[in-house]
């Protein structure tokens, strides 16, 4: 295994254990005196149901957080779950996450399905600012499964798209007290990125049987 593959596997191990952030309460109100602001975004996927997560952190910090949809080990059928975004071939959720003011970056992604985990092969950084009392829209992160080998090894095209109108309308429905006039977009109107972080490096974890004593 070369140095790059070792790095990719170690990165996957670290990211799989990072913290999934929670949305704010439905009656949340922005306040500049709190020192906090809001991150608004959406994560969607096309393909097989799995965990799909976008990883972010404060610039210069080693603590990772993730916007997570789905689950690595599915207990329910996707059709039984409550999705904010759902149409033929498309499912996802919107996020409204309170963060301390500062500069942040999306710098990795993660797809987990059973024993297989996939992450980016190249480093990237998509930065955004959080200001006290303001909300920042970071965009829609969309996962498309492109191919797979022997079921376990897959490649993904992760893109960033501007779905401001759709996402803010959904967020407004969920958070009626949120002042939409205070939302700043971190994505240019026509901006679209594809293959964020290149393709994907897949790690497969095989559970080892534990001998039972007699």
Q: Contact at 8 Å (CB) between 37 and 23?
A: no
What would the pLDDT profile of 116-160 be if each residue is shown by its tens digit? 788 898 999 999 999 999 999 999 999 998 876 554 567 889 999
User: Would the pTM of this model clear 0.85, i.e. be above it?
Assistant: no
Give the HSE-up count for residue 6: Cα atoms under 13 Å, Cβ half-sphere. Answer: 3
Q: How many whole angstroms from its chain centre is CA 58?
A: 15
Residues with Cβ < 8 Å from 119, sequence gap 6 or more? 8, 11, 12, 15, 108, 109, 110, 111, 197, 200, 201, 203
Query: Rounded distance, CA 208 to CA 72, Å?
Result: 18
Tokens 């429905």: give the residue.
173
- Top-confidence residue, 117 or 209: 117
Q: What are the C-alpha distances in Å from 144 to residues 48, 136, 209?
A: 9, 25, 34
Give me the pLDDT at residue 198, please. 81
């Amino acid at each position: 295994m070369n140095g790059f593959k070792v790095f990719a596997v170690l990165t996957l191990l670290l990211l799989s254990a990072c913290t999934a952030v929670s949305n704010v309460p439905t009656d949340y109100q922005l306040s500049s005196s709190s020192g906090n602001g809001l991150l608004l975004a959406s994560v969607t996927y096309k393909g097989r149901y799995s965990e799909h997560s976008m990883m972010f952190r404060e610039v210069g910090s080693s603590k990772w957080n993730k916007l997570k949809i789905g689950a690595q080990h599915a207990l329910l059928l996707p059709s039984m779950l409550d999705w904010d975004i759902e149409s033929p071939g498309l499912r996802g959720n919107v996020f409204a996450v309170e963060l301390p003011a500062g500069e942040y970056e999306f710098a990795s992604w993660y797809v987990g399905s059973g024993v297989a985990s996939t992450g980016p092969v190249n480093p990237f950084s998509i930065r955004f600012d959080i200001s006290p009392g303001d909300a920042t829209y970071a965009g829609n992160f969309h996962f498309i499964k492109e191919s797979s080998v022997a079921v376990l090894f897959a490649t993904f095209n992760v893109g960033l798209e501007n779905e401001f109108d759709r996402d803010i309308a959904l967020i407004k429905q969920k958070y009626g007290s949120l002042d939409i006039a205070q939302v700043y977009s971190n994505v240019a109107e026509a901006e679209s990125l594809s293959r964020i972080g290149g393709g994907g490096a897949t790690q497969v974890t095989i559970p080892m049987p534990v001998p039972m004593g007699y």
